[in-house]
Amino acid sequence: MADARGSAGEDPSSSLLPPLLRWAGPVLACGYGLGGRLHRAITTPQPSPLPTICIGNITVGGTGKTPATKYFARELSKRGRKVAVLMRGYKGQGRDEAIEVTAALKDLNVPVLLGGDRLASAQKAREQGRDLALLDDGFQHWRLKRDLDIVLIDATNPFGGGHLAPWGRLRESPEALGRAGVVIITRSDMVEADNLSTLEKRISAYAPQAVIARARHRPAGLRSLDFKQTFPLEKLHGMPINMLCGIGHPEGFRRTLAQLGADIKRTVICDDHDNSIDETLESFLQEAGPRPTIVTEKDAVKLEAISKAERVWVLKIEFEMTRGEDKVWEKIMKSLAVQ
């Protein structure tokens, strides 16, 4: 299965299985696919009590849904909508993302409702006077109907190795893009223009009805973990640093730091949603020397008690559409106009 980076194929490291277990990948992927189809077949979609827009993907983690959720919640609020963000969490976790989104939208008083029952969350949002639900990570959520599906595709690894999880990173086959009204290619600034055009053509074949746009994750600020200091992004240019993260796409974070000119000396990568990352960082700082350690906003919400907070810097990232933004908003407003 070809990807955006070239005509050959996807990154073989996309498999979620350790190398010694990859022989079982086809069988496990088959079971995953059958389970997903069965779940969808026995689930009866329910009308949402609010107009609902979903932001999701077809791969496991790392496409930039959280920055996109913050962007759309903010922009919809600016357009006069009373938005509520509905987040599932992840195996009882996901509170790091909820805290991050809540903090980012605090000035707009946008509630973030965390829970596996999205229908109940939507009903609660309506009771709170909200008039629009933004469903985070909900493309594979079948119970709650929505008015528009916005799907994010990571340009650096768009189809997750070409196999269903855990053999690859696909939650569904690329044909699922046929349900999307909008497809946004994230990290579009990290691939060659020719490969990006090839990817757009492939997405168009899967989703001929969808608006296709491009986006990037733009570095927007740098601060110390304890909020006592802020720094210009230019400070990273040529600076020796350490990098630590527990996110779905650590390579994207590394590339962003590299693009800013940082000299990455040591790297520590934790599992996504790893709640022990604070212990990992404390131990790491004992031997890391005076260099600052750069983390993401998502990680920062779990690191507030770090004793050497002044040596931990947080890079703020914002979602920014670079092509097709007007068409995306035209599609969004049209979907809401039928309410």
Q: In this structure, are 144 and 292 located in the same domain?
A: no
Beta-strand pair 112-114/52-57: unpaired
pLDDT recorded at residue 130: 97
In a domain, 30, yes or no: no
Could you identify the residue written with the tokens 């079971």? 31
Convert the pLDDT of each residue in 103-123 to its tens digit.
889 999 999 999 889 999 999
pLDDT at 195 over 70: yes
Examine the domain organization and report whether 231 and 204 are in the same domain: no
For the chain, how many structural domains are there in total?
Answer: 2
Structural domain for 270, as ranges: 219-318
The answer to whether residue 100 scores a pLDDT higher than 80 is yes
**Top mean-pLDDT range of 33-42, 86-95, 296-305:** 33-42
197 and 279, same domain (yes or no): no
The pLDDT of residue 82 is: 97
Whole-prediction pTM value?
0.90
Domain for residue 24, yes or no? Answer: no
Residue 157 inside a domain? The answer is yes
42, with CB counted inside 10 A (0-12, 13-18, 19+), is exposed
Q: Say whether pLDDT at 127 is over 70.
A: yes
Residue 323 has a pLDDT of 97
Chain length of the chain: 339
For residues 212 and 203, is the Cβ–Cβ distance under 8 A? yes
Give percent above pLDDT 90 in the chain.
67
Rounded distance between C-alpha atoms, residue 201 and residue 208, angstroms: 10
| Same domain? 178 vs 233 | no
Over range 18-37, report the average pLDDT: 92
Please report, for the domain that includes residue 82, its CATH number. Answer: 3.40.50.300
Distance (Å, rounded) from C-alpha 72 to C-alpha 52? 12
In a domain? residue 35: no
Which pLDDT score, from 0 to 100, does residue 155 have?
95
Position with higher pLDDT, 74 vs 270: 74
Mean pLDDT of the chain: 88
> Is the same domain home to 281 and 136?
no
pLDDT (0 to 100) of residue 208 = 97
pLDDT value of position 139:
95
Cβ within 8 Å of residue 197, ≥6 positions away = none
Q: Is the pLDDT of residue 8 over 50?
A: no
333 contacts: CB under 8 Å, gap ≥ 6 = 79
DSSP class per residue in 147-202? SEEEEEEETTSTTGGGSBTTTSSBSS-GGGGGG-SEEEEETGGGS-HHHHHHHHHH
| Same domain flag for 56 and 200 | yes
Q: CATH number, domain at 298?
A: 3.40.50
Whether the per-residue pLDDT at 3 is higher than 60: the answer is no
> Is 56 contained in some domain?
yes
